[in-house]
Structure 1
Amino acid sequence: MTDHVTCLFTLALEPQHFPAFQALVSDIVSATRQEPGTLIYEYSVNADGTQAHILERYRADAVVGHVDVTFAPFAERFLSLAKITSLVVYGQPNASVRQRLDVFGAIYMGGFDGFCRDFAV
């Protein structure tokens, strides 16, 4: 279980900005799809467009590349359209990964039992 890091972001959104946010997310997802170490990258939104979740799962060594390389060009625009209200991180991220995630107010939850089946998307 320690070779993966899973992140659950909760975002606050302004419904009138959701179309712009949705278009930006499409670009971010397209860029992220090219990362071989990104295993899950899914956005979900509530019915009124005021809250979204991002579920991300990475091979542990891929988080830094996502934050520093793939997401960085989109970060300013993303943060102008969405406010990160929480981040829960599952797994055992190393110090370098924690440094990237701490700026989002990460709460860390270390795994102690369980499994994950491999699946194709």
Structure 2
Amino acid sequence: MFEHIGWIVEAKIRQGKKAEFEAVMSEIVAKTREEQGTLNYQYYLSEEGDVLVYERFADVASAHIHVSNWDTFAERWVAAAIPTRMVHLGELPEDLRARHSALAPLWLKPFGGFARSV
């Protein structure tokens, strides 16, 4: 039904850590831009410091590559923001889901709808 997989991560920037978060986010975005199979890697931010990251991948192998790259930034990212929620989107295999087990993600499987490419 759906061609790609992905996830959403929500977090809250720690008090006084916005500059540190922006720095590590910029580095991760630059590294992720090099990943051919990463289709979306987008950050959204509220005035109150709530963060939403939308990530979408061409396939499972691309998602594994991204998680491995992200692991090098994880300590700095978590030092600047508290992860509050994660949602897996699509038919993610157990080995990929296990890589996020510390966040206890909600798993949402395809149900209906469509996606357009422009």
Above 0.5 in TM-score?
A: yes
CA contact (8 A) 1:60 1:93 kept: no
* Cα offset, 1:103, TM superposition: 2.3
Listed as ranges, the matches of 1:24-43 within 5 Å are: 24-43=24-43
Alignment partner, residue 46 of structure 1? 46
| 2:80 aligned residue | 81
Secondary structure of the 2:100 match is helix
- Contact 2:2/2:114 (CA < 8 Å) preserved in 1? no
Q: Provide TM-score, normalisation by structure 2.
A: 0.91
* Structure 1: stretches of 5+ with no match in the other structure: none
AA of the residue aligned to 1:29: V
Alignment-derived partner of residue 17 in structure 1:
17
Relative to the length of structure 1, the TM-score reads: 0.89
Segments of structure 2 that go 5 or more residues without pairing to the other structure are: none
Equivalent position SS for 2:113:
coil
SS of 1:28's partner is helix
Q: CA RMSD in A?
A: 1.3
> Deviations 1:3-53 (Å, cap 9, x if unpaired)?
41121111011241101100110000000001111101011111132x111
Aligned to 1:99: 98
> Sequence identity of aligned pairs in percent?
29
